Amino acid sequence: MQDKGKTKKQLINEPIEMHQSSESKIDIDLEKGNFRLVVELVPNAILMVNQKGEIILVNSQAEKLFGYNREELIGQSVEILVPDRFRSKHSEYSKSFFVNPQARLIGMGRDLFALRKDGSELHVEIGLNPIKTEEGVLVLAAIVDITERKLAEEMLRESEERLQAVMDNTTDAIMVYDEDGMVIAMNKEAERLFCSNNKTGLKNIWDVIPLENRADFSNILKSVKEGSRLLDYEIEKIIDNGERIPVGIGLVYMTDGSGMFIETIRDIRERIKLRNKIVEIEKAQVIGKMAEGIAHHMGTPLASMLLRVQMLKEDINGIPEYKKFMERLDSIEKQIFYAQRVMQRLLKFASKPENVKRPEKVFYLIEEAVDIIKPLLRKEGIELELCLGEGVKVWADSNLLLLVFSDIMMNAVDAMPSGGRLSITTSNVNPDVQVQISDTGIGIPRAVLPFIFDPFFTTKPAGKGTGLGLSVAKRIILDHNGKISIESTEGEGTSVLIRLPIYSEERTLA
């Protein structure tokens, strides 16, 4: 029991350390049996070999380890215990040892094998210690059987390889880190997300947690350590290029005493996009139903009101004393017309396009829209600048595109209450035709630009706009497989860019 707690190196070297003070009396000690007694007390296999390579001493542990009686080993070459494939190298090594006899440990960091009597082999580590005697230098070999340890190491290595293979074949990023956040291991997906441009790799999990989220994440770690489960928790992390992305994480704490966290990380950017798109679709459906209901319920009362106003106007027309009433009725009539236009837009927004399409020249549609707004241009003192290119055709519903062009031009006029310039140009940007409608008006604040195509969003004062024009325009352009975008600088003006596919027989977009 006295050997408990000693290191392997101490156990290997112990017999020699006990007799280094009596090297000159080794023969006497051997005769008295003192040395043999010490060797027998050592828990490892012990052999003593002379310079000829002959075994001259064996302890009982060596007998057990190799399966020989000591009488079978004494006087034999030590190579009886060396597998055939290693004997030539062993002979060379033995000669070099006696040229420069020094205590050394062999077998650490490489595979060293010994041969049993039954022909089986075992992994060993051997401590060699030279002993000077009157007969010359002898070597005392302390042998440790590490076969079970090697087997355990191999099983651990295979287990780790299997685990790494599983980790590398999952689409999720996986990281293992300790309670301080030091990263111990990660799979290929984690390396791609967090280390693709970082040669030093990710050292600490906190490096990918945004500062403002660290307190929350610390609480999460604490909660998971105390036994809570975390599955698909949405959080932001900083990936290798510095971008912050939404991820869904799962987190477990190892209860084996290792103090390790295992975290799975899934990039959910596409999920978020899809979820937002679904929300937008649902919102549009709700708004569409509301718009359709409002338009239908308001249509009849508005028509009735308009009829009565027009009848009153007919009754008092030409009567001087009712001139003021006539002006008021005119104002009421205009407001009813405005309300009806709003209802028409609501119905247009709620309904699906009829898809009555044919080849149409963009040139003619723009000219027709310009004719509609020309009286307003003269009234507001707005200069018109046209630069229309070739008369290319698009596959379109002419009524819907006319609605889009005229509505955008009307917005431009409204944005220039003190006059200005309206510029309309077309150009071929293969495979599309681009229409640009620009004004020198008040512009749109940058903060509201992202919402400009939302239904019912408007920058105009109450009673001046419904916020349906651009949302309807966008729906129509998308239905024509086109694109629409807006560029604006507050105080300088706005440009609306529309791109539509040029018509060809091979590219009919019905």
CATH of domain 358-507: 3.30.565.10
**Joined tokens for residue 482:** 């086109």
Average model confidence (pLDDT) across the chain: 81
Cα(458)–Cα(467) distance, integer angstroms: 4
Whole-number pLDDT of residue 31: 45
Cα(201)–Cα(197) distance, integer angstroms: 9
Identify the three-state secondary structure at position 240: coil
Contact 396, 357 (CB under 8 A): yes
**Joined tokens for residue 42:** 């050592």
Using the structure block, give the residue that is written with the tokens 């497989």: 481
In sequence order, the β-bridge partners of residue 502 are: 394
Output DSSP code: residue 352: P
- Beta strand 420-429 with 432-439 is antiparallel
Q: Which sequence spans correspond to the domains of the chain? A: 8-145, 168-267, 276-350, 358-507
One fold for both 8-145 and 358-507?
no
In 3D space, the residue among 470, 472, 387, 389 whose CA is nearest the CA of residue 421 turns out to be 387
Q: Which residue has the higher pLDDT, 339 or 30?
A: 339
- Highest mean pLDDT, choosing among 6-15, 41-50, 135-144, 432-441: 432-441
| Single-letter amino acid code for the residue at 453 | F
Q: Which residue has the higher pLDDT, 256 or 178?
A: 178
CATH of domain 8-145: 3.30.450.20
pLDDT digits (tens, 9 = 90+) for 53-69: 899 999 999 999 999 99
Can you tell me the mean pLDDT for 355-381? 84
pLDDT digits (tens, 9 = 90+) for 390-404: 778 899 888 788 888
Cα(301)–Cα(299) distance, integer angstroms: 6
Tell me the whole-structure pTM to 2 decimals.
0.41
| Reported CATH class of domain 168-267 | alpha beta
Q: Decide: residue 269, CB within 10 A, 0-12 exposed, 13-18 middle, 19+ buried.
A: exposed
pLDDT digits (tens, 9 = 90+) for 257-267: 888 899 999 99
Whole-number pLDDT of residue 68: 94
**Joined tokens for residue 125:** 């580590």
**Joined tokens for residue 188:** 């290929």
